[in-house]
Amino acid sequence: MKKFLIMGVVTALSAGLPLTAFAQGQATTEATTAHTHAVLAQSATPLAMAQLHLHHVVNCLVGPKGSGFDAAAGNPCKGQGDGAIKDGASDAALEAKLKSALAYAQSGLKSTSLATVQEDAGKAAAALGTAPSP
């Protein structure tokens, strides 16, 4: 895995791209994966499955070293970067959208109502669907 990351950095640098552009590309990849899981959570049943997908959203957004990361839930963004919010931090608009999606996902994780969880997942998906690409 490290070999691929190093190759990606070398490729970005050799193409004349700053590392921030490389990280933003990772953020976009992670945000896309998070969006997929937010959409899955929006239509998932039972409650536990919907919340599992919301955990995936959170894990992709915060990354394995971020607050709220739950390794037990699994990490569909493993190897994609350090978390979309961290990787997209150099772009204020992107970071704001990602943090908005995170707040919706975290809200859904606190609910015991399937309808509320699905509604919050839809809001997270909408926020991620409007995230600007680098």
pLDDT tens string 111-134: 999 999 999 999 999 999 976 554
**Residue 2 domain-assigned (yes or no):** no
Q: Does 36 reside within a domain?
A: yes
Q: Which domain holds residue 70?
A: 26-129
> Within a domain: residue 35?
yes
Tell me how crowded residue 10 is: count the other CB atoms within 10 A of its CB.
Answer: 10
Assign 26 a pLDDT band (cuts: 50, 70, 90).
confident
CA distance 83 to 100: 15
Q: Is residue 64 part of a domain?
A: yes
Distance CA 32, CA 132 (A): 11
Whether 55 is covered by a domain: the verdict is yes
As for how many domains the chain has, the answer is 1
Predicted local distance difference test score (pLDDT) of residue 132: 53
Tens-digit pLDDT profile for residues 31-70: 999 999 999 999 999 999 999 999 999 999 999 999 999 9
Cβ burial of 105 (10 Å; 0-12, 13-18, 19+) is: buried
The model's pTM: 0.81
